[in-house]
Amino acid sequence: MKKFIVLVMATMVIASNLFAQDPMFEKGDKVVNVGVGLLSALYTGSYYTSKMPPISISYEQGIIDNVLDVASIGVGGYIGFASAKWETTYSTGSYGWKYTNFIIGARGSFHYPLVDNLDTYAGILLGYNVVSAKEIGNVPLGFNASSSAAIFSGYVGGRYYFTDKIGAMAELGTGIAYFNIGVAVKL
C-alpha cells in the first residue's frame, strides 16, 4: 500500500510539472460569474406556456495559494433563479401554476491551471433551495405551495480569459442547471 501511495504521489508531482501552467486564479483574486443554464431538469414536459431560462450569479475570492505549487482555493457565494408557467385552457377558462426556484448558497473551489489563459476548477456548493407554486388562471382550484430544502452539489468548470479582466465561463454540475455558460469578470 505504501508503494502505491508513493507511486501516486510521484505521478502527481511529475504530471504537475509537465502540464501545469501559471496560475490564473490566486489568493486575493475576486471574480464574478454571470451564467445562463442550458440543461435543466426543472420545468420539463408539455403545457408550459413560458419559461425563464435558469440564471446564476456567483462570486469567488481566492484564499489559499501554492497548493501543489500552482493550485489555489477560493470561496464565495451563489445565487440561482428559474421560473416557468404551466397553464392549460378549456372552454370554461384556464388554470395553471407559476413555479419558481431560488437557490442561495456558499461555494468552495479548487483551481488547477491546465492550459494558458484557462482557469480550471472543481468544487462543491452547499445551499438552500426555495421552491414555490402559485395558482394562475380564472378557474380557481385553491392550490398554492412552497417548499424549501438544503442542497449539496458538485461542479467542474473553466474560465477562459480574453483579457486580464474579462472571460467566458462554463460549468458542468448541479445547481440551478446542469450546464451553465456565461461571462466572468475579475474585479
Q: What is the pLDDT of residue 116?
A: 82
Q: Which domain holds residue 122?
A: 2-186
Task: Summarize the chain as % helix, strand, coil (round to 5).
Answer: 10, 65, 25
Q: Phi/psi of residue 4, each to 5°?
A: -65, -45
Alpha carbon of residue 164 to chain centroid: 22
Q: What is the pLDDT of residue 40?
A: 74
Q: 103: burial class by Cβ within 10 Å (0-12, 13-18, 19+)? A: buried
pTM above 0.95, yes or no: no
Give the total number of structural domains in the chain: 1
Over the stretch 1-42, which tens digit does the pLDDT of each residue have? 555 455 445 444 444 444 545 667 888 899 999 999 987 767
Do residues 143 and 126 make contact, with C-beta atoms less than 8 angstroms apart? Answer: no
Compute and round to an integer the Cα radius of gyration of the chain.
Answer: 21
Over the stretch 119-143, which tens digit does the pLDDT of each residue have? 999 999 999 999 998 888 776 667 7
Show Cβ contacts of residue 138 under 8 Å, excluding neighbours closer than 6 positions. Answer: 93, 94, 95
Q: For residues 7 and 60, which has the higher predicted lDDT (pLDDT)? A: 60
3-state secondary structure 138-167: CCCCCCCEEEEEEEEEEEEEEEEECCCCEE
Q: In what helix (H) or strand (E) does residue 127 lie, and over which residues does it extend? A: strand 118-137
CATH number where 123 lies: 2.40.160.20
The total number of residues shown for the chain amounts to: 187
